[in-house]
Amino acid sequence: MRNDVMRSALVLALPLLLLSMGACVSRPPTIAHVHLGHALTGVTPGKQGYLLVAEKQAEDIVALAQKAKINPDLAQIKTAVAAAEIATNSTDEFGLKHSLIMASNHISFAATSPDASPNVQKSAPTFASDTVRVVERCELIGLLGKDIAASTSVEEAQLLAGEIQMLAQANLDGEDTNKDGVVGDAPAEFGMKQLRAELDGIIARENPPYRTVDQWYLFNLVKLPNGRWVFDKLGRGGNIDGYK
């Protein structure tokens, strides 16, 4: 009877022992992977990664511009274009331009982390360079938005809204500027579709593999005055200013 009791106690204790052993051998993500997580997983108010926010904004801008270019009411055109301009260039609202720049910054931070893989070190400068055309289109949308805000003609406002729509569509899907029949086959033609594929490729090449980063690590990565990145063990929240 005593042996049976001891055997039962061992069976009950074994899962707890294995669980505790697993906890002991678990490791936090690398600093580089936390920075990649900021682009992919979520540090914005909506708990989304910067690149995901940029993608969603790009979609919304296309829809707003399409509505504006066919609307016969000048005031409504201006309202739709103003909303599109906010979704494009606002910093406070995590517009497309700001969100994409922040995603690129974090990928660059990942590359300069001491634990960065050769893959990330090599890929980050290329990704940053490949975002340039999207940022340029965002700035053009901002200029056209100002022209529409000052316009007194429905026809003129619709025409300009059509220009915004084409820029917004290119920011989403890419474009074929060299007329070779292929959309987005060069960085000067890139939109969010191509940039997302590029980042997916970086992630796929990571060794050890990238895994979704827990939000505790995302929000508690801090930058020390000496430039070193560490986790705040007290969980007081990250040094957001250090990310910019």
**Per-residue pLDDT tens for 75-103?**
999 999 999 999 999 999 999 999 999 99
pLDDT at 95: 97
CB distance 213 to 37 below 8 Å: yes
Owning domain of residue 217: 2-243
> Nearest 5°: phi and psi at 95?
-65, 170
As a whole number, mean pLDDT of residues 11-39 equals 63
The pLDDT of residue 118 is above 70: yes
The pLDDT of residue 241 is above 90: no
pLDDT at 43: 53
Arithmetic mean of pLDDT over the chain: 86
Q: Are strands 229-231 and 221-223 parallel, antiparallel or unpaired?
A: antiparallel
N-terminal to C-terminal alpha carbon distance within the chain: 67
Which region among 58-62, 67-71, 176-180 has the lowest average model confidence (pLDDT)? 176-180
The pLDDT of residue 50 is above 70: yes
Quickly state the pLDDT bin for 3 (edges 50, 70, 90): low
The pLDDT of residue 206 is above 70: yes
Give the model confidence (pLDDT) of 159-178 as tens digits.
Answer: 999 999 999 999 999 999 99
CB distance 200 to 193 below 8 Å: no
> Is 0.85 surpassed by the pTM of this model?
no
- Backbone angle region of 153, left / alpha / beta, with phi > 0 → left and psi within -120 to 50 → alpha: beta
Question: Token match 């053009």: residue?
Answer: 140
- Count structural domains, the chain: 1
pLDDT at 212: 85
As a whole number, mean pLDDT of residues 56-73 equals 97
